[in-house]
Structure 1
Amino acid sequence: MDEVEVVVAHSERATLRVGDVFLKVDADQARVDVEVEMMALAPVPTPKVLWRRPPVLALAALPGTTLGRLGGPSTGAPAGWAAAGAAIRTLHEAPLPPRTGRAGRSIAALTAELDDECESLVTNGVLPADLVTRNRQVAEAALRPWAPAFTHGDLQIAHLFVDGDEVTGIIDWSEAGQGDALYDLATFTLGHEEHLDDVMAGYGSGIDLDVIHAWWSLRSLLAVRWLIEHGFDPFAPGCEIDVMRSRM
C-alpha cells in the first residue's frame, strides 16, 4: 500500500481505495443495507464484502477496468460493450428483488419531480429555457408504463468493470431494485451514444431507442442541480449539458 486514494467524496458519502480494498463511508446505514442485500441477490459478478463496521463497508477491488468515463473517451472495444449489454440483460431477467429501486419511481412521482426541476433550472438561470423545454419534450417518452425488472438504478459507465470481453463485476448497488430496464441501459450509455449499438448487440431485443433518448434527457435534467451542489461539473465536455444539447 503506497497511498490512500479518494475515489469519490461528497456530503452524502465517500469512497476510498487502500491497496486492493475499497472503503465506503456512508452515514445512511439503510442505504448500505440495500447495497449488501442487492449484491447478494444479483446474478452478475459483484465485489466481495470483506467486512462491515458502520459507517464503513469494505469491499474487495474488482479485476479489469471500466469502459471509459462520462466526459472522457471510451476505452473498451466493441466486444467489451457487448459483454456489458449481455450482463445487463442477465440482471434484468433475474427474479425480482423485494424492493422498488430508483429506476422504479411511479410515473406520477417522476413527472412531478421533473416538472419542479425544470422550473427551478429556468427560474434560477441555471440553464436556458429553450434547452430545458426541448429536453423536457424528449423526456416525455420515458413517462410510460413499463414491466418491472431487476435494475441496478445507478449503472454509470464507471460502475461496470470488464477484462477483454468478460464482465468482472458491477459496483454501487444502493439504488437497486425493481424498475424500468431501459433506465439502466440509458444510464450506462449516457454520453457514449456511439456504443449504444454495441450494447444492444449484447443485450438483445426489447430496446426502444426513443425511450433511451428520453431517459438521457430526463436523467440529465434531474442531475444538473445535484451535481453542481455536490462539487461536480455537468458543463464539462461530454457530460450532462452536452448530452442535452445533442437533443436540440
Structure 2
Amino acid sequence: MFYSTLFIDLDDTLYPAQNGLWQLIKERIRQYMRERLGIPAEIVPELSQRYFLEYGTTLRGLQANYSVDMLDYLNYVHDVPLQDYLAPNPALRAILDSIPVRKFIFTNADAAHAQRVLTHLGIESCFAGIVDIVAVAPYCKPMPEAFEIARALAGEPDPRRCVMIDDLPRTTRAARACGLCALLYGQAQPHPDADAAFDDWSLLPALLNGRNGCTPKTFGL
C-alpha cells in the first residue's frame, strides 16, 4: 500500500526554526495574555507553557480557563510582519512539486496565517488545502480527534495511507498512535517517536520513495 496524502506542519517546519518568527509569535501570545486578559506578567510564561503541554496549545488552555474569542486571539497573535522573516523558496517548491501526492497543511495556527506564510514562501500552489485549528475545533494537534478530522477533510479514510511531517516529537508520536506514518523534521538522527527523521527537505522525496508500506522498516535515508 502506498501513501496518498501528506500532512505537513507549518511554523518551524516549512521555514527554519532559527529565523525568529515563532519567537515573535510566542511573544504576541504572551502579550495577548497580559494585555487582553489581564494575566499578571510574572506568571504568563509559565502559564502559557503549561497550557501548551496540557491542552495542546495555549489557545485551547485559555479557552478552557478564560473567556477568549478564538478568532480575536488568532488574529492578534499572528499580526506579525512575515515579510521580515520569510522569502520565496523555489528549491522547497520544486521538492514539494516533485512528490505526486496530495499535500495539506495541518497546523495549530489558523488558515489565514497559513495562507500568508505559504504565499511569502511562494509555495501556496503546492497544497490541496489547509487543515487549521478552527477546522478541528475544539481539538488540536496532538489530540487523536484532530487527526481523524484532518483525514476526513482530506478525504482519506485509511490512516495507513497518510504521512505526517512535524517538528514536534509529541505530534509525530500521536500521529503514529493514530495509524499514520510520521516523519520528524528538524533533526537528522532517528527518534523513537517517529518513523524517520530528516533535517533537509531535499532528502524527503527519496525518503518517501523508499516507502511501500506503513512500517518503520520501510523508511530510510
Between the two structures, name the one with larger relative contact order (CA 8 Å, sep ≥ 6).
1
Q: Which has the higher strand share?
A: 1
TM more than 0.5: no
Q: Which has the higher helix share?
A: 2
TM superposition score category, shorter chain reference:
0.3 to 0.5
TM-score (norm 2): 0.33
